[in-house]
Structure 1
Amino acid sequence: MALADYDAALGHSFGLEIDGIVIKQISEVRGLKMEHDVIEVRQHTADGRYVVRKLPGRSHGGELTLVRPLTADNGFEKWLQAARFGRIGEARRGGAVIVYDQEGSPLKRYRISGAWPRSLEIGALRAGDPGVLTETLIVTYEQMEVE
Structure 2
Amino acid sequence: MPLPDLDSSVGHSFGLEFDSVLIRQITEVSGLKMEQDVIELKQNTADGKYAIKKLPGRPKAGEVTVSRGLTEDNSFERWVKESRFGQMTSARRNGAIIVYDYEGLPIKRYKLINAWPKSLEIGTLKAGDTSVLTEKLVITYESMEVD
Query: Aligned ranges for residues 124-143 of structure 1 at < 5 Å?
Result: 124-143=124-143
The share of aligned pairs that are identical, in percent, is 61
CA distance in 1, matches of 2:96, 2:64: 11
Contact 1:69 1:132 in 2 (8 A): yes
What SS does structure 1 have at the residue aligned with 2:124?
A: coil
Aligned partner of 1:47 in structure 2 is 47
CA distance in 1, matches of 2:106, 2:133: 26
Contact 1:27 1:67 in 2 (8 A): yes
The alpha-carbon deviation at position 128 of structure 1 amounts to 4.1
What whole-Å deviation, never above 9, does each CA across 1:47-100 have from its counterpart, x for those lacking one? 222211000001101111000111222111111110011111110111111112
Contact 1:39 1:55 in 2 (8 A): yes
Contact 1:12 1:102 in 2 (8 A): no
Contact 2:2 2:105 in 1 (8 A): no
What SS does structure 1 have at the residue aligned with 2:2?
A: coil
Size of the aligned set, in residue pairs, is: 147
Contact 1:93 1:114 in 2 (8 A): yes
CA distance in 1, matches of 2:143, 2:100: 22
Contact 1:64 1:140 in 2 (8 A): yes
Contact 1:14 1:25 in 2 (8 A): no
CA distance change for structure 1 residues 71 and 103 in 2, over 3 Å: closer, same or farther?
Answer: farther
CA distance in 1, matches of 2:77, 2:104: 27
CA distance in 1, matches of 2:91, 2:25: 21
The alpha-carbon deviation at position 127 of structure 1 amounts to 4.2
CA distance in 1, matches of 2:74, 2:45: 61
Aligned partner of 2:145 in structure 1 is 145
The alpha-carbon deviation at position 138 of structure 1 amounts to 0.4
- Structure 1-normalised TM-score? 0.92
The alpha-carbon deviation at position 12 of structure 1 amounts to 1.9
The answer for unaligned runs of 5 or more in structure 1 is none
